[in-house]
Amino acid sequence: MFARVEPLTTTRRLSGPFDYKVDGLALVKGSIVRIPFGHQQLDGVVVATTDATDVPEEKLQAPTSVRDDTVPEDLVDLAHWIAEEYCSTPARALAIVTPPPGKSKTHFYAEPTGEEGKLTAKQRELLDRLPGPAGKDLAALRRLEARGLVTISERAERRTPRTNAVEDRVHDLTQPQIDALAAIDAGGSHLLHGVTGSGKTEVYLRAAEACLQRGEGVIVLVPEIALTPQTVARFQARFGDTVALLHSALSEGERYDEWRRLRTNEARIAVGPRSAVFAPVENLGLIVLDEEHDASYKQDGDPRYDARHVAAYRAYQSGARLVAGSATPRPETVHAMHRLRLPSRVETKKPLVFQDDPAPPGVHVGGVTPRTTLTPRRADGLPPVRILDMRESQHSLHPETRRAILGTRKSIVLLNRRGWSNFLSCKTCGKAWECPRCDVALVLHRAQHEIACHHCGHKERVPKRCDACGSLAVARHGAGTERVEHELRGMLDVPIFRLDADTTQTKDAVPELLARFHQAPTGLLLGTQMVAKGHDFPDVTLGVVLDADSTLRFPDFRAEERTFALIAQLAGRAGRGPKGGRVLVQTRSPDAPAIVAAANHDSDGFLKEELARRKAHEYPPFADLIRVITSATDPEPARVAAAAIAEQIKVPETQLLGPAPLFRLRDRDRFQLVLKTHERSAAIHATGRAVEDAARTKAFKEVNFSVDVDPV
């Protein structure tokens, strides 16, 4: 027998798999082996075994070692599909489904045998504490073992991830929840479209419980594990050690132990971000995609898979149910999946507007005249939203926002921009400080006394004068979370918790900060889009969105969708408790359809208009997009490589845009091609073949190639 092995390399210039002798090794599809490859040793995955080979047997070599852990066969097949679907390589795709590095941690465990013998006082004390870990008493216990008084065995010691524990509360189901569960139990793929606080998590829990009773496994995907602690905690509270966590913030030992528990069926529910879609769960019965609208389900590095699409394929592959849940679902999902509705919050018998609310909700132009009036009390339990027009304002906070924050014990403020100022410029000559490695402005971070690039990490000291003309007049433009925090501290005497990439760089920083905010009797949570994730703080009575139209200015066909989702999700954090709540939205575009729809909680109206707009312009879901980026340290090779790829791609019903230059990133000049196609499979195949041919061309050996199918 021979083994076909795919070496785990990153190059596109290698075309495997390669045949190896078995030499008595216990190799199966999915075995992870160490192989001689040229003049080096590489890890590889056995993708098949065969009784025949085209290579003379005397030229074949055998693997030098085999890992105890293996990749499940269905994940090997899934990796090959990913390589094809996302124009990657089998080796890169296999690398993301292999087990994490590490090995089990063990300890010695001692138990009394029940035999009697003469003992000293210390020995009697030692026996009385058994059974238990041997610990530092191992030597003394070994002597008792030799006399037949104890037995000592080696046991695996689980390295348990840290989570915020919560009490499990089983709620009575509403009729819409009962109907949704019945549909999910019947099988197939479903979109669970429910307003914030409508009990989507309880539906997930009940569906998972039904799967466990049938002997099936479950995968629960969340956008970012640290930002959705309530979902994780509720699954652990309901199912205990049956739940395993999989995410990159775990230590190497924790990650390995959790993977191993799933592989051995000790745990049957995997919870984690996008990479958990590759959890080794046998007899998979359900995949849950919580907050399915979140862009973090898309992988940045090659292969640039979308966990939502991979989850759909894996559900198809295994015959599992698929449930995608969101209060603000993507138009693509609404168009493609059967929709189950949870139209109102679980508890709606509570005040929704403060008794001392100074004015009805609506749009305030300059903080004076209300225009569009919304219903103060909503049957669905959602908080009222007021739009504040900032077109004539010179300050970051509207007067109404200031009054509301000062009168609120606990609130959440969202500004989707970190740092102190967006950029610096010289008032005399107009110079703007830019990153020397990227074509972007440097952002001021005042606490660190530096200006930094948010793309490559380049940092410089804050300039005191212009190095072009010598002027001391250096202007600061825009406001980020750091600057707003400074302003809020000057007006409030309550704790302020800032949640952004600058304050959460250490392990467990996010759950610890959220736990402190949750436990504080008063406080304000300020941050970027992190604060709009699926948090559940019942005592938060005010939500504020600053510069709500900033995402509308992005040159992206999804700009309206992202703006709507961000406002609606932040609004969902307020008014979940008995005191009710309200939301203020500051914007310079108060009439923007996405903002007005979010203020009215009009998800159906927004989705109808957005789908019509996309159909008219042939954007997803009515066409598929593929983006190819070439990059090199000099612009010409990158441009020529992109042109060569464009010349080779010939697909019917496909529009090819470019090559066009992109901004320089990390000292590399970049060009991009964009395909808009109605022939997805043919376009993917043609793009993959064209990129593969270019990557093997000697003239392009210094060029890097990146393919992004369904870019976000």
User: So what's the pLDDT on residue 378?
Assistant: 65
Q: What is the pTM of this model?
A: 0.86
**Distance (Å, rounded) from C-alpha 188 to C-alpha 1?**
40
Residues 521-562 have pLDDT tens digits of: 999 999 888 888 777 788 888 999 999 988 888 888 999 999
**Distance (Å, rounded) from C-alpha 610 to C-alpha 43?**
47
Interstrand relation of 321-326 and 269-272 (parallel, antiparallel or unpaired)? unpaired
Q: Give Cα separations from 573 to 51, 248, 602 (angstroms).
A: 60, 26, 17
User: So what's the pLDDT on residue 331?
Assistant: 96
Between 302-306, 513-517, 556-560, the lowest mean confidence (pLDDT) is in 513-517
Residues 602-615 have pLDDT tens digits of: 999 999 999 999 99
Residues 55-98 have pLDDT tens digits of: 888 888 888 999 989 999 999 999 999 999 999 999 999 999 99
SS3 category, 413: strand
Q: Residue 12: which residues within 8 A CB-CB, separation 6 or more?
A: 89, 691, 692, 695, 696, 705
DSSP letters along 371-403, please? -S---SS-TT-PPPEEEEE-TT--SSS-HHHHH
Q: What is the mean pLDDT of residues 364-373?
A: 39
Structure tokens belonging to residue 368: 């004076």
pLDDT beyond 50 at 349 = no
Q: Are 307 and 596 in contact (CB under 8 A)?
A: no
User: How many angstroms separate the first and last alpha carbons of the chain?
Assistant: 45
Q: What angle do CA 308, 309, 311 make, to 5 degrees?
A: 65
Between 69-78, 171-180, 349-358, the lowest mean confidence (pLDDT) is in 349-358
Between 204-208, 504-508, 680-684, the lowest mean confidence (pLDDT) is in 504-508
> Which one is predicted more confidently, 353 or 404?
404
pLDDT beyond 80 at 361 = no
Count of beta carbons in the 10 Å neighbourhood of residue 81: 15
Phi/psi at 438 (5° precision): -130, 150
Task: Work out the percent of the chain whose per-residue pLDDT is above 90.
Answer: 53
Interstrand relation of 385-389 and 363-365 (parallel, antiparallel or unpaired)? parallel
SS3 category, 644: helix
Residues 426-475 have pLDDT tens digits of: 989 988 999 999 989 999 888 888 889 988 989 999 998 898 898 888 88
- What number of H helices and E strands is found in the chain? 18, 32
Mean per-residue pLDDT of the chain = 88
Q: What is the mean pLDDT of residues 233-257?
A: 88
pLDDT beyond 60 at 647 = yes
**Nearest in space to 62 (alpha carbons), one of 91, 15, 19, 95:** 19
**Distance (Å, rounded) from C-alpha 472 to C-alpha 439?**
24
**Distance (Å, rounded) from C-alpha 694 to C-alpha 145?**
67
pLDDT band at 674 (very low <50, low <70, confident <90, very high): very high
pLDDT band at 629 (very low <50, low <70, confident <90, very high): very high
pLDDT band at 184 (very low <50, low <70, confident <90, very high): very high
pLDDT beyond 60 at 161 = yes
Structure tokens belonging to residue 131: 């059974």
